[in-house]
Every structure is written in C-alpha cells, then in structure tokens.
A and B are shown apart, each in its own frame.
Chain A
Amino acid sequence: MPSALPLADPAPADGLLPASAADGAADRTLSVYLHVPFCRVRCGYCDFNTYTAGELRGVSQRDYPDHAIAEVAFADQVLRSSGVPARPVSTVFFGGGTPTLLPADDLARMLGAVRDTWGLVPGAEVTVEANPDSVTASSLQVLANAGVTRVSFGMQSAVPSVLAVLDRTHDPARVPLAVQWAKDSGLNVSVDLIYGSPGETVADWDRSLDAAIAMAPDHVSAYSLIVEPGTAMARKIARGELPEPDEDLHATFYELADDRLAAAGFHWYEVSNWARSEQQRSQHNLAYWCSQDWWGIGPGAHSHVGGVRWWNAKHPAAYAERVLGGVSPAVGREALDADTQLLERVLLEIRIADGMPVEVLPASARPRVAGLIADGLVEGPAAVQGRLILTRRGRLLADAVVRSLID
C-alpha cells in the first residue's frame, strides 16, 4: 500500500481514459448514475451536492436535463475513443438532491437519452429516489411508463419530532400513500430510514420500523445518522444545541432494525440494506460494491471505469459551462494501482452478505482471519469454506475488520 494518501491527478479536458481502463471491460457491467442536484430546502444533516433555487447562480433547473443529456453524449464519445467496448446499461439510478423535483417527463427524457445511447439490458433496474412530498399517483405512473422499475422513498422516520430534527418537511402520513401509488404503478419500492438522530429514542426508532414494515416495501435501507463536518447539524452539535451522537446507541438501533426486519421477512445483503428476495436487492448499488463500471452524470457525480475514478465539478453553473463547451466536466481523477484496487475491493465486498473470497487477501493477511473468527466478527463456517462474511457484530465493526485485514 502507498504510505501517503493518493493525490488526485488533474482530469484531462477530453476525458480520455488510459488504455488500462478498457482491460477486462467485457466482464464488467455498465451502470449509469444521474444526479439531480436540486432540493426545495436543504436538510440540516445533509452534505450532498445539492442546491436550493436561491443557490443556483443563474442556472435554471429547467435547463438541467439538457446539460445531463449533453454529458451522456460526451460519455459515449469518451468510452468509444478510449477503446472501452460498448455495452448496454444494466442499471440506472436517479439520485439527488431530489430527482422528483424535476417534472417526470424530464426524468423520462434523460432515461431516454441513456437508452438511445447505449441501450438497456433486458430487465434493467431503473431507480428514482423520491421525496414522498414531491410525487403523485400520476407522476409515478409517468415514470413507470417511461421505464422506471423502482422507486426509493426518503422516509427517514415516522416520528414527527425526529423528522423535525432532520429538517424533513414531509407529512409522515403521506408516505404510505406514496408507497401504495408506486405499487399500483407496478414499481418496486424501497424506503430509506435514518436512525440515531439527536434525541431519538429506541421507542421512536421501533415506531419508525413498525411504520416501514407495515407498508410492506420490497427493500429497506437504514442508515445511522452521520454528522458531516460543515453541515448545520454539526454546527448545532458544536454549539451544544444538539447532543452528540452516541455510537453505542446506534449499535442498539442497528440490532433492533436487523431483528425487526428479519422477523418481517427481509434479509440483509449489505451492512445498511435489507431486501425481501435476491431479485429485490439494489442491483445498482451492488454494481458499486462489486467494482463494476459506472458513469456518474451531473454536477459532483463520481464515476468508475476499469480502475479509474473521477468526479465532476460540483456547482451546476460550472458543470453546465463545461458540458456545453464540449469539455469534460471532471475536475479530478485517480488511476488506482493494484494495491489500492485491492484495498477498495476488501472494503466494499466485505460489506455484502455474499462476502468476499478469502483468496482475494494477500497471503500475509490470511492468517488474521482466524482472529476475526475467534472474535466473532466473521462467520467461521463460511471462512473455512473460503468466503469472508461478516457476523452481525462484524457488520457493526466492519471498518475495524478492514483495518485489521490491510497493512
């Protein structure tokens, strides 16, 4: 492993990838992420690359789909020129921000551009993140008609006081309605939950789990609240206006979620994700965790193709200027060396229920697996058979497990 942190290389204006990026591409799938960097209000805990209307410096939300579509065309050209073989897209994900702030027709148009450019594999998963407030029965139907297969609702909590701490403005009563509309349109449904908000009790969390399970979604993501530096919430905690998160309590919340979801017929398949069946796992997110190729469209979006990662200019105005000028929107990138790719593989694959093959580890690290078994962090029988799969305790200590496996 390199001893110093890798510095990002400058990203070339033409976006061209090194020849190594094409190696083995035929064995990898291609996914597309489309970022929609708009929100009606900014939530106090959120550090995503998103902007309210007042922060857009003259770029219009209305023009954005065209900017994104311009990058789709640019991406196609870069992949061709770099010798990466053409592949139809396996998964598409609209994330944000709040994608459903854009008219459903705009999202449909963006998806159409992806389809027209690369094609979609049969049964491709197409997900849209949605705020329960910004969808209607008809807008969901428009999305379904356009080829969207899955919608992921930012439910976060069913408890008004917890939603208030998170600055979430939706009415919790609207969530079951939105979920039902989505189901009625034939969409798979996932709900996102956040636990460990300042002041949230175990009873509050249990109530949110009740509510989520009662809606019978196909998939649940549950994230512990991470207080990101620079957010309004971090400032409130620094000023003592909100209590600091208690990681031990987070562990209790996690165990409760795992118990309740398992009892309701969900299986964990990644540290923070549970699905009713293998088919209902998020194929798009699995592509991230299995180091497939994915192109991130939009301001601040990250991409990965064949061991090269890059990221775009963050502000929609700067982004627009680049893509409209035919210049790569990327502002930084890194070509991962073999050691770094191995490190990433360990840190990503260890998180999923399928685990990772023991033989991926360097010979020097393999004996340490015995200690992880003894400490109850990885499943013993699976390890003996050659796969590293985290126990529940191991999931809660996944970062420590990774640190103990790398040197």
Chain B
Amino acid sequence: MSPRAVTPRQPAATDPAFIRNFCIIAHIDHGKSTLADRMLQLTGIVDDRSMRAQYLDRMDIERERGITIKSQAVRMPWEVDGEAYALNMIDTPGHVDFSYEVSRSLAACEGAILLVDAAQGIEAQTLANLYLALENDLAIIPVLNKIDLPAADPERYAKELSDLIGGSPDDVLRVSGKTGVGVEKLLDKVVRTVPAPKGDKDAPARAMIFDSVYDSYRGVVTYIRMVDGKLSPREKVQMMSTKATHELLEIGVSSPEPIPSQGLGVGEVGYLITGVKDVRQSKVGDTVTNAAKPAAEPLAGYVEPKPMVFSGLYPIDGSDYPLLREALDKLKLSDAALVYEPETSVALGFGFRCGFLGLLHLEIITERLQREFNLDLIATAPSVIYEVTTDDGKTTVVTNPSEFPGGKIQAVSEPIVKASILTPKDYVGAVMDLCQSRRGSLEGMDYLGPERVELRYTLPLGEIVFDFFDQLKSRTQGYASLDYELSGRQTADLVKVDILLQGEQVDAFSAIVHKDKAYAYGVMMASKLRELIPRQQFEVPIQAAIGARVIARETIRAMRKDVLAKCYGGDITRKRKLLEKQKEGKKRMKMVGRVEVPQEAFIAALSTDQSGRDEKK
C-alpha cells in the first residue's frame, strides 16, 4: 500500500502532534529542488503528469540558475504506522546574501534535512546554515543525495557528515532525488525524527512571517508559521512591528497551489492574504496577531533588513530613467530588502543609488531589471558602507565614493566579515595568498576529513565585493566554497582614488581603496581607459589622483587623421550615410568635459571588477 495518507488531516483542525515542520539545507546544485519534486510526487499532491521539474522554484532566473531566492512552504500528507501526518516543507534560500531569510525559515521548523551531494561533500554555505539550524535546536537528518551518480562516494561523505554532527555513518540516509530511491524512507524518518511543534492553542494568536511574496493578481502573499492560538478568515490582524491592521481576506495552505482553509492553528504553516500591495507592510520576521485580542509580546528575532552593498544603476539611454524608476518601484513590492534613491552622476546622468543585501542580490536585481523590464543598465562598482571622520570630528556615512569628504581625514572605518572557506587541502596555499592580498587575517584552520580544510578569516567586506569569489574559484579550479557573515567594523587606511579625464573628474570611476592598493587601482583604471576611450581631436591625459596628488597617468594621443580621402560623385551618398551613422553613434557617447566617452567604455571599465560574477551562486 502506498504510504500516501488516505484521509489527509485538515488545516485548522490538525493536532500539533501530527504536524512535522522541516526544511532542506543544501548547497546550490546538490539537488534540493529535485528532491522536493519527488516528495511532491510521492505524497500525491502533484500528479505525475503535471509534474513540472523543480516545481517550487517559480521564477525564471531561479530556474535557470538553480537557485532558490524566495522560500515557500508546502503541506504534504504522509502516513506512518496507520496515522496521517501533515508535513510542512519550508523551502529556504541557499545563499549567504539571504541569511536573515534563512534564519527565519529555520525558526519556522523543528527539523532539517541536511542534504549533501554524495559526489562533492559538504560546502561552506551548507555548513553555515547547518550551524544556524543547530542553533535553532532543529533535529538534523543527514542525507546523501545523487547516490546514482558514478562519481558518488557515499562511504567517504557519510563519514564526513557523521564526524561533523555525531552519530554513525550508517545513520546517514542515501537517496536519489532523480530516481526517487530512498525518498519514502526519508519521509518516514521526518515523521519519526522531527519533533512535533509546541504552542499554546488558547493564547492570543502569534504567527511568524517567514516569507512575503508579491503577486500581481493577489497582492502580497505572506507565509506564516503559527506559534500560538489560531487565525481565521475575515478577522482583523495586526503586524506587531508597525501596529498596522489588516483584514484577513484569505488564509490557507499551499499544496502546492494555494488552498483556502478555515484558518490555521498551533504549529501549522500556511499563507495569508490581506490585500496589501507592498511587501514592506508584511515584513519577514514580524509577528502577526489578532487585532482585537493582541499578544503581549512579539516573537523574538525580528530584524529590519539592512543593505550591505551599494551600487549606482544608470540607464544607458538617459530617456529610460522614468522606466527604471517604475521598474524599481515594482521590484520593491516583492523585495523588502531593496532600497534606492535618485542619484546624479556627472558622467552617467540620472540614475539610482541602490542598496542590496549582497552581491548576488545586486546581480539578481540588475538582471531582473534588464530581463523583465528590458532596460540596458550600467552598474557602478559595488561599494560598502564606510564611515569617514574628518579632523573636525564629524563622521559621514559613505556608500558612494562621491560622498567621501574632502579635507583632512582622521579615520575611516569599514565593515568586516568572518569568512569560512572550504577547500581541498592542495589549494590551501593559493587561498591563503588570496586572502592575504585582500587584507584578510587568518583566524583558524580545521581539517574536515583528510582532504578538506576549513579556513576561517576576517576580511573587509569591501575586499569581497570586488572579484573575490571569482578569484577564489579560479585559484582552486572551482573547488573552494565561501560563506561569510558580518562581524562589525574596523578602521583602516582607506583613501578615495579619483580618475580624471583631461582634468575632469569622472565620478563613476572613483573608488575607495586601501592606501597600499591605491596606486595599483589608479594604474589599472588609467591603462584600461586608455584602451577603451577612442582617440579624440586633442590629447587627453588620464590621471588617477588622491585629492590633489596624481598617482598615475596615461595619455590618449590626439587623433591625427579622420577624413576620407576620396569624395566624388558615387562616394557622396555612401559618405553621408557613414556620417549619419557616426552621428547616431555620437548619441551613445557621454561627454566628460570635451571628451567623448562611449557607453561601452564605461561598461567595460566598470564591469571588469565584477567580471564573472555570474559564477557566484
């Protein structure tokens, strides 16, 4: 007989003893979505025919990159020993940029499947999320996936996992999300291992928001985990951080399509819809309570999202500026962490200074702007939050090099991170060289088995937002993985390097760098620009300067000849069309003083620092 539950338990009427809330912790491409698909199929909530590969990852970008940006929760019936259970699988984002969202998803669970590729072993991000799960007292179910792969080495990685979390290698389940082998056993184990949720059904309602998604038809869909009490349709609810009240237009569970219910009770996971149009009114981590009978205390753990990485986004075609504003306004509805404000660059015109949780967040947003809104954008080099104290004791927060104060600087502080890098032991030297060159200080080093090493570093965030990840990957042939968390601030000898074309400062190229690297940055930008900017009718000096002090210099020689020698009868039409074409090209030039700089030069000069960011997953 199939263990699919014959009589599934109904939402709002399920004894918490028969509820299991769990998530899957996995590194990108270790097969989380495929495993989730198999679970949806085995539990019968998605029929085999309508099964869409990786059902839960809805957005195109996610599907293409195999990353989960937005978590969702699915309620699945499952029967063990003749009892029907309701399993709530809460999907978690896998990337460090979304660590706060991860922590809230984990807080909604009692257990976690630790899913590891049987051919690759555990990665740094997984390790980081595992720490978080243990901190939340979740029951951990270690699982090796992809055991059908020829390269799978389950013995080795089972040992690695049991060394890490205790127990014996035999406790590590072996499954294949692709073929379905072992998945039924895994569901049974979830029922047996994960504790039932606890809560007070008679207390005032408290539900934690662990995700909030904008849907253009329904407004904001808020995903919640009930802790105490009950929420019912049409009652008034209150968001405890803002005290804002809304009417519950709909409440229900995802299975995996939304199914309205008579409410949600203790331990249940589901969604609610209040008609709000902006995810900022329904914030991840906030507590939902009954407006008429509110809880005294919100649930612990709510934090306002805080951007860490900043970049200026400019439309290549200046007339697209209103479109960019509209697009950002739309994305904001579904992304509470995205912040932006108008900004003007002398070189790039009108744009927006945008704040992101991290580099991946930045990349996803720019890609969505380009893909979903058809915008061609230039993104300035990413920056972090610097605090600059001048000699008069005044401190300025700087997220854009152009805000860097002039005059005497007393101190500059920058954010730092604690980074954990997992690498095969052969690359330890290469990784250490890289971290050294990025002003890292080694905090510790541990062997995870005979072949793999965890290196722990403190690094400035500003050194990571450039091409650190790409460098890490290329120096370790793709084997190393990185995780980091913010760890306060430090003062450092930081300066602003400006780039000047013919004496005119090009704000988009200014950068805040360590004093020891200022020269290298100046030389790199100046020589790059010399290659990228076409010769003009006059000589163009390119200078890199700290304040008034020039630290590097290049010259674009004047163009000497720009004339077609022949211009007779048959040449005239052709020549005129050529001029008209050149004239069109001129429209795509940005003027810096008298220097015509092609857009392509800006893009090329700005993109190299972020080159290969696509690989960061």
Residues of A at under 8 Å CB distance from B? 1-3, 5-6, 33, 222-224, 226, 247-248, 250-252, 254, 271-272, 285, 288-289, 294, 296, 300-304, 309, 311, 334, 340, 343-344, 347-348, 351, 375, 377, 395-400, 402-403, 406-407
Minimum Cβ distance to chain B for residue A75 (Å): 15
B565 touches A400 (CB 8 A): no
B569 touches A289 (CB 8 A): no
Q: Which residue of B lies closest to A271 (CB)?
A: B563
B565 touches A272 (CB 8 A): yes
Minimum Cβ distance to chain A for residue B48 (Å): 54
Minimum Cβ distance to chain A for residue B535 (Å): 9
Q: Which residue of B lies closest to A49 (CB)?
A: B570
Q: Does B131 make an interface contact (CB < 8 A)? A: no
Q: Which residue of B lies closest to A303 (CB)?
A: B569
A323 to B586, CA, bound (A): 43
Contacts of A272 in B (CB 8 A): 565-566
A344 touches B569 (CB 8 A): no
B583 touches A5 (CB 8 A): no
Q: Does B437 make an interface contact (CB < 8 A)? A: no
A250 to B559, CA, bound (A): 12
A226 to B562, CA, bound (A): 12
Cβ < 8 Å to A, chain B residues 557-592:
559-570, 572-573, 575-577, 579-584, 586
A7 to B614, CA, bound (A): 41
Q: Does B538 make an interface contact (CB < 8 A)? A: yes
Given A248-B560, A397-B561; 8 other pairs, CB 8 A cutoff = A2-B580, A222-B565, A271-B563, A288-B572, A347-B576, A375-B538, A402-B579, A403-B583
Q: Does B474 make an interface contact (CB < 8 A)? A: no
A2 to B577, CA, bound (A): 11
Contacts of B583 in A (CB 8 A): 1, 403, 406-407
If A396-B563, A397-B559, A397-B561 touch, whether A403 touches B575 (CB-CB below 8 Å) is: no
Question: Which are the 7 A-B pairs with shortest beta-carbon distances?
Answer: A251-B560, A223-B565, A398-B563, A302-B570, A251-B561, A224-B565, A400-B562
The listed residue (B537, B565, B569) touching A296 by CB distance below 8 A is B569
Minimum Cβ distance to chain A for residue B595 (Å): 13
Minimum Cβ distance to chain B for residue A375 (Å): 6
The listed residue (A252, A309, A348, A406) touching B567 by CB distance below 8 A is A348
Q: Which residue of B lies closest to A390 (CB)?
A: B563
B570 touches A300 (CB 8 A): yes
A226 to B575, CA, bound (A): 13
A251 to B579, CA, bound (A): 20
The listed residue (A248, A288, A304, A399) touching B563 by CB distance below 8 A is A399
Cβ < 8 Å to A, chain B residues 249-288:
none
Contacts of A406 in B (CB 8 A): 579, 583
B568 touches A247 (CB 8 A): no
Contacts of B569 in A (CB 8 A): 33, 288, 294, 296, 301-304
Contacts of A296 in B (CB 8 A): 569-570
Contacts of A302 in B (CB 8 A): 569-570, 572-573
Contacts of A222 in B (CB 8 A): 565
B579 touches A395 (CB 8 A): no
A397 touches B563 (CB 8 A): yes
Residue pairs across A and B with Cβ atoms less than 8 A apart, 9 shown, are: A1-B580, A2-B580, A5-B581, A248-B560, A251-B561, A288-B572, A348-B567, A351-B567, A399-B562
A247 touches B561 (CB 8 A): yes
Residues of B at under 8 Å CB distance from A? 537-538, 559-570, 572-573, 575-577, 579-584, 586
A5 touches B562 (CB 8 A): no
A399 to B565, CA, bound (A): 10
Q: Which residue of B lies closest to A282 (CB)?
A: B568
Minimum Cβ distance to chain B for residue A84 (Å): 18
Contacts of B566 in A (CB 8 A): 223, 226, 272
Contacts of B579 in A (CB 8 A): 343, 347, 399, 402-403, 406
A399 touches B564 (CB 8 A): yes
Contacts of A3 in B (CB 8 A): 584
A302 to B576, CA, bound (A): 14
Minimum Cβ distance to chain B for residue A3 (Å): 7
B576 touches A250 (CB 8 A): no
Minimum Cβ distance to chain B for residue A91 (Å): 12
Contacts of B561 in A (CB 8 A): 224, 247-248, 250-251, 254, 396-397
Contacts of A1 in B (CB 8 A): 580, 583
A223 to B561, CA, bound (A): 13
The listed residue (A2, A247, A334) touching B560 by CB distance below 8 A is A247
If A223-B565, A289-B567, A397-B561 touch, whether A377 touches B573 (CB-CB below 8 Å) is: no
Minimum Cβ distance to chain B for residue A76 (Å): 19
B570 touches A395 (CB 8 A): no
A226 touches B564 (CB 8 A): yes
A311 to B538, CA, bound (A): 38
Contacts of B576 in A (CB 8 A): 340, 343-344, 347
Contacts of A399 in B (CB 8 A): 562-564, 579, 582
The listed residue (B565, B568, B575, B586) touching A285 by CB distance below 8 A is B568
A347 touches B575 (CB 8 A): yes
Contacts of A348 in B (CB 8 A): 567, 572
Q: Which residue of A lies closest to B577 (CB)?
A: A5
If A302-B569, A344-B576 touch, whether A395 touches B563 (CB-CB below 8 Å) is: yes
A305 to B224, CA, bound (A): 79
Contacts of A250 in B (CB 8 A): 561
A309 to B559, CA, bound (A): 33
The listed residue (A300, A304, A343, A396) touching B562 by CB distance below 8 A is A396
Contacts of A397 in B (CB 8 A): 537, 559-563
Contacts of B577 in A (CB 8 A): 5-6
A300 to B570, CA, bound (A): 9
Contacts of B586 in A (CB 8 A): 403
Contacts of B559 in A (CB 8 A): 247, 397, 400
Minimum Cβ distance to chain A for residue B504 (Å): 16
Q: Which residue of A lies closest to B581 (CB)?
A: A5
Q: Which residue of B lies closest to A2 (CB)?
A: B580
Contacts of A375 in B (CB 8 A): 537-538
Minimum Cβ distance to chain A for residue B566 (Å): 6
Minimum Cβ distance to chain B for residue A399 (Å): 5
Contacts of A311 in B (CB 8 A): 570, 573
Most buried by A among B562, B565, B569, B586: B569
Minimum Cβ distance to chain B for residue A251 (Å): 4
A400 touches B560 (CB 8 A): no
Q: Which residue of A lies closest to B587 (CB)?
A: A3
A259 to B281, CA, bound (A): 78
Contacts of B581 in A (CB 8 A): 5
Contacts of A303 in B (CB 8 A): 569
Minimum Cβ distance to chain B for residue A9 (Å): 12
Q: Which residue of B lies closest to A404 (CB)?
A: B537
Minimum Cβ distance to chain A for residue B317 (Å): 13
B565 touches A344 (CB 8 A): no
A14 to B538, CA, bound (A): 51
A398 touches B562 (CB 8 A): yes
A289 to B426, CA, bound (A): 73
Q: Which residue of A lies closest to B586 (CB)?
A: A403
Minimum Cβ distance to chain A for residue B360 (Å): 39
Minimum Cβ distance to chain A for residue B538 (Å): 6
Contacts of B565 in A (CB 8 A): 222-224, 226, 271-272
Minimum Cβ distance to chain A for residue B578 (Å): 8
Minimum Cβ distance to chain B for residue A130 (Å): 17
A75 to B157, CA, bound (A): 89
Contacts of A251 in B (CB 8 A): 560-561
A322 to B335, CA, bound (A): 68
A301 touches B570 (CB 8 A): yes
Contacts of A395 in B (CB 8 A): 563
A254 to B561, CA, bound (A): 9
Most buried by A among B560, B561, B577: B561
If A1-B583, A226-B566 touch, whether A309 touches B572 (CB-CB below 8 Å) is: yes
A396 to B564, CA, bound (A): 9
Contacts of A400 in B (CB 8 A): 537, 559, 562
Contacts of A224 in B (CB 8 A): 561, 565
Contacts of A344 in B (CB 8 A): 572, 576
